[in-house]
Amino acid sequence: MQSDIRRGTAEMTAAMLISGTIGWFVVISGQPVSGVVFWRCFFGALTLLVICTALGLLRPGIISLRSLAIAVFGGIAIVSNWLLLFASYSHASISIATTVYNTQPFMLLALGALFLGEKITGTKLFWLGLSFAGMAAIVEAKPDTDAVSGSYGLGILMALGAAFFYALAALAAKWLRGTPPHLIALIQVSTGIVMLAPMTDFTNLPIDAGSWLILITVGVIHTGLMYVLLYGAIQKLPTHLTGALSFIYPVAAILVDRLAFGHALQPMQIIGAAVILLAAAGMNLGWSPSRLIGLPVTRS
């Protein structure tokens, strides 16, 4: 048991660190966002096809038509999520976009209440309100003009849209319990190839090996390998530890943005980011609001 937890912790940490660097690769690729996402799907699909074949997940009858349709729906959502998140980087910086993107648990909270009949408790509403307070601080903050090239507000809206589509993909995953996760991932990126092929400019492809290496890395490492590590960790770790380790991702993204591009958060942005991450942690880990003020927790 302990060896599984240690291995799962290492896998989850590696997956989150890989996720935290994807913004850097997207920016330095120099490709249009739709092109980056297409090649992510393409090379990711090749990687996941090999993995699914090795695991024997491509045999007939392993997935029903209904589950296939839900997986395709999840693929449309996850690809839309990537498009919006990557596009938000040039407007609100990698740091802010990634932090705002971490409001996704609250999007899933609302969708779960609407479609799964899940109960919204007072504690969950507290963390939701705290998250909105952090969002307000970020929106009101003066952005670093060197970190953005477009509309700051548009970047925040794009990151929120990305969070919403991620929550839709997570909702689809909840409906697919029992379906091999690597097969779900393969269907999702294959859906992305079909979605984005018509809008990908194949006449203006990268001409140097370095650019291709970046795109291959995003597909193989940030998609194929990351999925394997993430799903392997989820299978081994308790939920609270999975939730706690997931916050390595935004922290890593903020550090990469600072070290690679010199983008520093403004004081109000730091406060807003900290509040959002605190609220998301409280939501994911089931904390009581009393933890913020050190009151003893009573159990009924």
140-166 pLDDT tens trace: 876 665 555 568 889 999 999 999 999
Task: Provide the pLDDT for residue 143.
Answer: 65
Tokens representing residue 180 in the block: 């091999």
- For 51-106, the pLDDT digits (tens) are 999 999 999 989 999 999 999 999 999 999 999 999 999 898 899 999 999 888 88
Q: Retrieve residue 25's tokens.
A: 């690769």
Q: Is 296 helix (H, G, I), strand (E, B) or coil?
A: coil
Give the Cα separation of 39 and 223 in Å (integer). 11
The pTM (predicted TM-score) of the whole model is: 0.87
Average of pLDDT values for 211-228?
94
Is the CA virtual torsion 199, 215, 231, 130 positive or negative?
negative
pLDDT single digits (tens) 220-263: 999 999 988 988 888 788 877 777 788 899 999 999 999 999 88
